[in-house]
Amino acid sequence: TPRVFSGIQPSGGLTLGNYLGALKRFAEMQGDGFETIYCLVDLHAITVWQEPEKLRHQTREAAAAFMASGVDPSRSILFNQSQVSAHSELAWVFNCVARMGWMGRMTQWKDKTAGKNAENASLGLFAYPSLMAADILVYHATHVPVGEDQKQHLELTRDIAAKFNHDYGTDFFPITEPVIEGTATRVMSLRDGSKKMSKSDPSDMSRINLTDDADTIAQKIRKARTDPEVLPDTPDGLAERPEARNLVNIFAALSGSSVEEVLADYAGQGFGAFKPALAELAVEKLAPISGEMTRLMSDPAEIDRILGDGADKAEAIAQPILDKTLEITGMIRSR
Ligand code: AQP
pLDDT at 31 over 90: no
How far apart are the C-alpha atoms of 253 and 28, rounded to whole Å? 13
Identify the CATH number of the domain defined by range 3-179+299-328: 3.40.50.620
How far apart are the C-alpha atoms of 137 and 267, rounded to whole Å? 46
Cα of 198 from ligand 1 centre, angstroms? 6
Torsion angle of the four alpha carbons 85, 198, 207, 188, in this order, in degrees rounded to the nearest 10: -130
Mean pLDDT of the region 14-36: 94
pLDDT at 182: 80
Ligand 1 atom with the shortest distance to the CA of 188? 1
pLDDT at 225: 97
> What SS3 class is residue 64?
helix
Ligand 1 atom with the shortest distance to the CA of 146? 33
ipTM of the complex: 0.95
pLDDT digits (tens, 9 = 90+) for 283-309: 999 999 999 999 999 999 999 999 999
10 is in an annotated binding site: yes
Pocket of ligand 1 (CB under 6 A): 8-9, 11-12, 15, 17-18, 20-22, 146-147, 149-150, 185-187, 196-200
Query: pLDDT exceeding 70 applies to what percent of the chain?
Result: 100
Where in the chain are the domains? 3-179+299-328, 204-295
In this prediction, residue 181 has a pLDDT band, given cuts at 50, 70 and 90, of confident
Give, in order, the Cα–Cα distances in Å from 206 to each of 182, 197, 198, 246.
22, 7, 8, 12
Say if residue 134 is exposed, middle or buried (CB neighbours under 10 Å; 0-12, 13-18, 19+).
buried
| Annotation marks residue 196 as catalytic | yes
| Averaged pLDDT of the chain | 96
CATH architecture label of 204-295:
Orthogonal Bundle (1.10)
pLDDT at 183 over 90: no
313 is in an annotated binding site: no
Radius of gyration of the chain (CA): 21
pLDDT at 79 over 90: yes
pLDDT at 32: 80
pLDDT digits (tens, 9 = 90+) for 210-248: 999 999 999 999 999 999 999 999 999 999 999 999 999
Query: pLDDT exceeding 90 applies to what percent of the chain?
Result: 95
Instruction: Let me know if the fold of 3-179+299-328 is the same as that of 204-295.
Output: no
> What SS3 class is residue 4?
strand
198 is in an annotated binding site: yes
pLDDT at 1: 87
DSSP for 211-248, please give it: T--HHHHHHHHHTS---SSPPPSSGGGGTT-HHHHHHH
Q: Which is catalytic among the residues 24, 163, 199, 220?
A: 199
